[in-house]
């Protein structure tokens, strides 16, 4: 185990499976619609244009760090940015999400995809600018996992059960493998570009993998997430919403990709208490989570007790990064997020 320099950011200490003096906290989707300064800076600018404007992406990345004093920034971008930058005409429609006019569903559709070689110069520039503005606060890069990207490519937009995607996985394995290889290379390039530009850690979002059985995940998804993460060279958080049945699978991808046991943390949504999650993980893997986003609108004493409970249960794991169980809802009160950060920093190591 490497020794801990006194000035190592708490996030990185926790991701190594140790207990920093202060438990680190950040929030998925902390940069975004919940902040008035975000809405002002984004006014009249389309989402993908904002992602590809390095100065604006860096500013949006810094906003929640300034406001809340969180222990990590997460780069402002979107999981479909590298897909678009590889040349696939994908758009982000306000209030809907990523949409493709021509979904990718057949062997010919997959063969017609452009080379998995996205132009990420604007992303790299945005990351460098953000890192320069952050001082000692670490920047998390991120990407969508190949399965979650495949859900958008195959369905053509958001969907509930991802039925077509799951049918393709079983009905046409060779087309599935070609699609997942493409998605792994595109999203892997996105991760590597952020790390090369200064991201200290990354998070792989498999947002929709919770619809899969563990057996399907292992056979048809895990190899491609491993390929996306392989050799990324920094600790990673691996997260699936509704992923309680997949925790050991998510961990194994991390360990296989990094080649050792100190590869990072598994992200836990609000459904599985952290002590139970840690038990499922065998007690050797750091965890990230898992304040229920619904609690953000509850009276402060109720929310504060929930946060203390999350901290207490998180002590069962070797390292704990406090986060929500999923992203910040657009309706969240930013002052409540700031109050959570203060509470975690006060109580993080005492509960």
To the query of whether residue 42 is one of the catalytic residues in this protein, the response is yes
Q: Which of 71, 78, 185, 269 is catalytic?
A: 78
Judged by CB under 6 A, does residue 97 bind ligand CP3?
A: yes
Judged by CB under 6 A, does residue 31 bind ligand CP3?
A: yes
Q: Which of 42, 67, 166, 251 is catalytic?
A: 42
Judged by CB under 6 A, does residue 79 bind ligand CP3?
A: yes
Smallest gap from Cβ 94 to ligand CP3, in A, equals: 6
Residue 16 CB partners (closer than 8 Å, separation 6+): 1, 2, 4, 235, 262, 286, 319
To the query of whether residue 227 is one of the catalytic residues in this protein, the response is no
| CB half-sphere exposure, 83, CA atoms < 13 A | 30
Which class for 27: exposed (0-12), middle (13-18), buried (19 or more C-beta within 10 A)?
buried
To the query of whether residue 78 is one of the catalytic residues in this protein, the response is yes
> In this structure, are residues 204 and 142 in contact, taking their beta carbons and an 8 Å threshold?
yes
Q: Report the side by side order of strands in the sheet with 236-239.
A: 73-74, 139-144, 201-205, 236-239, 264-267, 287-291, 320-324
Q: State whether residue 1 is helix, strand or coil.
A: coil
Among the candidate windows 140-148, 221-229, 248-256, 311-319, which touches ligand CP3 by CB under 6 A?
A: 140-148
Of the candidates 15, 47, 73, 262, which one interacts with ligand CP3 according to CB under 6 A? Answer: 47
Dist CA 318 CA 262 (whole Å): 10
Binding mask of the shown chain, residues 320 to 339, with x at each position contacting ligand CP3 by CB under 6 A: -------x------------
H helices present in 33-118, as ranges: 36-42, 47-51, 54-68, 81-85, 107-111
Judged by CB under 6 A, does residue 29 bind ligand CP3?
A: yes
Q: Which of 22, 33, 280, 308 is catalytic?
A: 33
To the query of whether residue 252 is one of the catalytic residues in this protein, the response is no
Judged by CB under 6 A, does residue 205 bind ligand CP3?
A: yes
Judged by CB under 6 A, does residue 138 bind ligand CP3?
A: no
Of the candidates 85, 194, 207, 323, which one interacts with ligand CP3 according to CB under 6 A? Answer: 207
Judged by CB under 6 A, does residue 190 bind ligand CP3?
A: no
Nearest partner of 147 among 107, 170, 180, judged by Cα: 180
Judged by CB under 6 A, does residue 210 bind ligand CP3?
A: no
Nearest partner of 67 among 336, 346, 349, 247, judged by Cα: 336
Among the candidate windows 2-10, 75-83, 178-186, 269-277, which touches ligand CP3 by CB under 6 A?
A: 75-83
Residue 270 CB partners (closer than 8 Å, separation 6+): 289, 290, 291, 292, 293, 294, 324, 325, 326
- Count of residues that bind ligand CP3 according to CB under 6 A: 21
Quick one: 72 or 113, whose CB is closer to ligand CP3?
72
Dist CA 288 CA 277 (whole Å): 10
Smallest gap from Cβ 225 to ligand CP3, in A, equals: 14
Any idea which residues carry the catalytic annotation?
29, 33, 42, 78, 152
Where along the sequence are the contacts to ligand CP3 (CB under 6 A)? 28-29, 31-33, 47, 74, 76, 78-79, 92, 95, 97-98, 142, 144, 148, 205, 207, 241, 327
């Amino acid at each position: 185990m490497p020794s801990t320099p006194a000035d190592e950011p708490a996030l990185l200490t926790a991701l190594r499976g140790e207990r920093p003096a202060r438990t680190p906290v950040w929030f998925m989707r902390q940069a975004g619609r919940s902040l008035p300064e975000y809405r002002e800076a984004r006014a009249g600018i389309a989402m993908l244009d904002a992602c590809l404007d390095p100065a604006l992406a860096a500013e949006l990345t810094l906003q929640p760090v300034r406001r809340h004093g969180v222990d990590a920034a997460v780069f402002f971008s979107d999981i479909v940015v590298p897909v678009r930058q590889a040349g696939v005409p994908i758009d982000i429609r306000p209030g809907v999400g990523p949409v493709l006019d021509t979904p990718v569903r057949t062997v010919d559709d997959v063969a017609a995809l452009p080379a998995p070689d996205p132009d990420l110069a604007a992303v790299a520039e945005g990351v460098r600018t953000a890192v320069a503005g952050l001082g000692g606060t670490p920047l998390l890069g991120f990407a969508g996992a190949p399965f979650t990207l495949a859900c958008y490519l195959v369905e053509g937009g958001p969907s509930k059960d991802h039925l077509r995607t799951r049918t393709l996985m079983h009905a046409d394995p060779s087309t599935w493998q070609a699609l997942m290889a493409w998605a792994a290379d595109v999203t892997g390039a996105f991760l590597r570009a952020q790390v090369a530009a200064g991201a200290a850690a990354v998070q792989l979002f498999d947002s929709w993998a919770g619809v899969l059985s563990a057996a399907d995940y292992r056979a048809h998804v895990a190899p491609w997430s491993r390929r996306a993460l392989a050799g990324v060279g920094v600790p990673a958080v691996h997260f699936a919403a509704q992923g309680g049945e997949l925790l050991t699978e998510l961990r194994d991808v991390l360990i296989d990709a990094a080649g050792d046991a100190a590869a990072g943390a598994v992200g836990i949504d609000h459904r599985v208490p952290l002590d139970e999650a840690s038990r499922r993980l065998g007690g050797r893997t750091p965890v990230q989570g898992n304040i229920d986003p619904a609690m953000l609108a509850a009276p402060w004493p109720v929310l504060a007790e929930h946060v203390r409970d999350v901290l207490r249960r998180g002590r069962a794991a070797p390292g704990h990064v406090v986060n929500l169980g999923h992203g910040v809802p657009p309706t969240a009160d930013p002052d409540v997020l700031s109050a959570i950060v203060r509470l975690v920093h006060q109580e993080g190591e005492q509960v």
